[in-house]
């Protein structure tokens, strides 16, 4: 099979990326999306040993909050089911944050340090401050088993779209905004005006709709336009919860699909 994928990044920063994939079938695009969400293992707290909890929340509530803290998951270091131990010890009057968690593995730490776990007080009437001391085991698990193990959040895709200029707009009619979201492939540059940081319109360029306020009448003034999907071209939007980079998330998802296909092929041959 001569499958030629073409990947092009539209924008990316530390935790999010948007990229275009050409030559991908809708089935494969959806498989990839689902794999990013549910099949890339990440570390998250799975069992907690409470040594002291004199806070106002139940042990179970605190454990749930700890479970939802994203932990950095270094690549190729852990396998599913592996365990890392973390500890937390905070005394009031102070708020216990995710950043107070200490792990026994140098590469594992909370991806965000500013998630409040609980506010601990030292009430005037009490003879000791509220205190939270615990040990927790983080386990490598998959998003399909528990949402706390989802590495990808807000993962989705849209068709790449293109705009066809049909005609001039009616000269005396009121111009109405024509809202479109996503990314368009410029194919009518001669009718387009330069928008927000995209430079001179050029055929074949990828233009995010935010650059013209998601309003086609700003990009193609006084034109009557229609929008079409580009076949087999999808714009993915992937956001990581911080447990790993977007690149790792996507490559791990592709690997997990490949692994399962290999397994099936071997099983069929037997």
Which segments of 190-245 does DSSP mark as H helices, in order? 216-219
Cβ-proximal residues to 112 (8 Å cutoff; 6+ apart), any chain: 69, 70, 98, 99, 242
For residue 170, give the DSSP letter.
P
How long, in residues, is the chain?
Answer: 270
- Binds another protein (CB under 8 A): choice among 40, 43, 48, 183: 48
User: Do 217 and 178 touch, CB atoms closer than 8 A?
Assistant: yes
Name which position in 21, 86, 183, 207 contacts another protein (CB under 8 A): 21
CA 240 to chain centroid: 4
Which listed residue (131, 148, 159, 237) binds another protein by CB under 8 A?
Answer: 148
d(CA 225, CA 70): 45
Site for another protein in 96-135 (CB under 8 A): 127
Number of residues that bind another protein (CB under 8 A): 58
264 binds another protein (CB under 8 A): yes
Distance of closest approach, residue 186 Cβ to another protein, in angstroms: 20
**Residue whose structure tokens are 């592996």:** 82
CA distance 74 to 77: 6
Of the candidates 51, 154, 164, 193, which one interacts with another protein according to CB under 8 A?
51
17/37 Cα distance (integer angstroms): 15
Smallest distance, another protein to C-beta of residue 38, A: 7
CB of 128 to another protein, least distance (A): 11
The verdict on 174 binding another protein (CB under 8 A) reads no
- Candidates 7-15, 87-95, 111-119, 225-233 — which segment interacts with another protein by CB under 8 A? 7-15
Calpha distance 165→41 (Å, rounded)? 46
Spacing of C-alpha 89 from chain mean position: 31
59 binds another protein (CB under 8 A): yes
Give 55 or 198: the residue with its C-beta nearer to another protein. Answer: 55
190: which 2 tokens? 């001669």
| Binding region for another protein (CB under 8 A) | 1, 3-9, 12, 19, 21, 24-28, 30-32, 34-35, 38-39, 44-51, 53-54, 59-60, 63-64, 66-67, 127, 144, 148, 247, 250-251, 254-255, 257-258, 260-265, 267-269
């Amino acid at each position: 099979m001569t499958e030629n994928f073409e990947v092009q990044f539209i924008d990316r920063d530390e935790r999010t990326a948007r990229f275009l994939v050409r030559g991908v079938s809708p089935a494969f695009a959806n498989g990839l999306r689902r794999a990013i969400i549910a099949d890339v293992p990440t570390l998250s707290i799975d069992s907690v040993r409470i040594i002291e909890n004199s806070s106002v929340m139940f042990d179970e509530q605190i454990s749930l909050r700890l479970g939802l803290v994203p932990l950095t998951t270094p690549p190729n270091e852990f396998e599913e089911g592996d365990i890392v131990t973390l500890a937390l010890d905070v005394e009031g009057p102070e708020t216990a944050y995710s950043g107070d968690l200490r792990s026994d593995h140098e590469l594992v730490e909370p991806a965000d340090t500013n998630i409040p776990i609980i506010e601990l007080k030292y009430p005037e009437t009490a003879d000791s401050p509220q205190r939270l001391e615990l040990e927790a085991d983080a386990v490598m698990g998959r998003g399909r088993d528990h949402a706390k193990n989802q590495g990808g959040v807000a993962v989705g895709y849209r068709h790449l779209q293109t705009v066809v200029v049909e005609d001039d707009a009616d000269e005396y009619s009121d111009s109405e905004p024509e809202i479109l979201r996503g990314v368009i492939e410029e194919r009518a540059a001669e009718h387009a005006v330069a928008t927000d940081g995209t430079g001179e319109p050029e055929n074949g360029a990828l233009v995010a709709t935010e650059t013209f306020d998601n309003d086609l009448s700003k990009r193609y003034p006084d034109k009557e336009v229609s929008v079409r999907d580009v076949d087999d071209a999808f714009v993915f939007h992937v956001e990581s919860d911080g447990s790993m980079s977007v690149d790792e998330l996507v490559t791990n998802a592709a690997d997990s699909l490949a692994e399962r296909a290999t397994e099936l092929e071997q099983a069929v041959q037997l």
